[in-house]
Amino acid sequence: MSAIINILTAKLNYETSNLIYNEYQDRLKEVNYLLDNYDYYEDLKERRKVIETLLALSIFYKRIIANFDGFLAFTKTLHRSQINKILIGSKEYSKKETARLYFISKDFLDIMLKFNISYLIFDYNETKEFLRNCKEYRLK
């Protein structure tokens, strides 16, 4: 199977896919360094493939899904005022269009729920925090 990062970024526009892919590669180097050089992460060493997949998912969430969720929150604000259509540039977002966006976000959440992953695992700045989150998650 192709690396998850390639599957998630396939055909995205250059700017976005580059942003995600570069962050992933930079952090992956750090992940490998930390796993190879610190005993604290000993129990994660043999699970690099899982860590790589979670890393890809966390960056995809931050760069794509979180922005979709933010936009959907605004559409909810408008729906409360009985406004169901938004124009952004020349693109019109009808209720049907925003529902499609909602289902992307919901399907993503469903994967998280099915595998008991809290969004908190994605709440990190430094890569070592991400690894620490993975370690804690694994122990649960």
Partner 1 sequence: MAKKKSPFRNLQEFEKEITDFANKHKLEIVEHSKKISNYFEISSFNNLVRYYKNKGYSASPQNLIGGKYRYKCSPAGIQSNFSFFLISKKNRNIDYEYEIHHNLAVQSSHGDDIFTTPDIVVIDKSSVKYSDQYYTTKKKFSFVENVNMKTFCEVKNFNPFPELLFNFIGVLNELRKEYLEGKLQNHSPVQIAPTLIISGKGSKPTNLIKEKLEERYNVNIIYDVFYQGRYFFTKRAGELKKS
Which positions touch partner 1 (CB under 8 A)? 1, 4, 7-8, 10-13, 16, 47, 49-50, 53-54, 57, 62-64, 66-71, 73-74, 77-78, 81, 83, 85-89, 91-92, 100-101, 103-104, 107-108, 111, 114-117, 119, 122-126, 137-138
Beta carbon nearer to partner 1, 132 or 137:
137
Query: What number of CA atoms fall less than 13 Å from residue 4's CA on the CB side?
Result: 15
Beta carbon nearer to partner 1, 40 or 120:
120
Question: Please, what's the b/e burial string for 18-40 (b: 16 or more CB within 10 A of its CB; e: otherwise)?
Answer: ebbbebbeebbeebeebbeeeee
Which residues lie below 8 Å from residue 128, measured CB to CB, with a gap of 6+?
30, 34
Considering the complex, what minimum distance in angstroms separates the CB of residue 99 from partner 1?
11
Considering the complex, what minimum distance in angstroms separates the CB of residue 81 from partner 1?
5
Which residues lie below 8 Å from residue 74, measured CB to CB, with a gap of 6+?
86
